[in-house]
Amino acid sequence: MNIVSVTVTGALMGMLSPVVANMSIQPFIAQKRAVNFGIVESQAVAYAALSEGAPALPPTNTTQFNGCTSNSDVTTGAGSVTCTLTGKFGASVTRSFRLAQLQGGTLTTPNINYTPGVFCPLWDAWGIINYNDSHNVVCIPVPYGPWASTYTGEILW
């Protein structure tokens, strides 16, 4: 090799080594971003599932929902939660849900006239399988799960 070849090769390697080093760590950066997105996605989906059909927003100041903020529109019952993870490879996710609308302590939904005092049974929580059609009523949906203790209707199973 002559001195010109060595000098040119050394100059090219000096210019290209930062690019090569940057390309080599891109898979690790993408993996870290994916992990952070998975964390905030699971928080947002869990909060939205917990809030769906609930009469009020659950608290976001727990360790499970750290970094999440929620809001809702009282008139429509629509709500959203935004979970954010800060840092160099941070991520942010927003998910929406719908709260149960309560007026005067009873559950109401726009454009639906529920039959007073008729709650949906456990096996047809929203009355859409066949309870409403079979009994010629529009039963009041009861949110089961974390709100099961608030259910005071007749248990039909």
pLDDT tens-digit map of 30-73: 899 999 999 999 999 989 888 887 777 888 888 888 889 998 88
Whether the Cβ atoms of residue 45 and residue 52 lie closer than 8 Å to each other: no
What are φ and ψ of residue 153, in 5° steps?
-80, 175
- By CB neighbour count within 10 A (0-12 exposed, 13-18 middle, 19+ buried), where does 24 fall? exposed
Strand partners, 82: 69, 94
pTM of the model: 0.56
Query: Please, which pLDDT band fits residue 157 given cuts at 50, 70 and 90?
Result: very low
- Contact assessment for residue 94 and residue 43, using Cβ atoms and an 8 Å cutoff: no
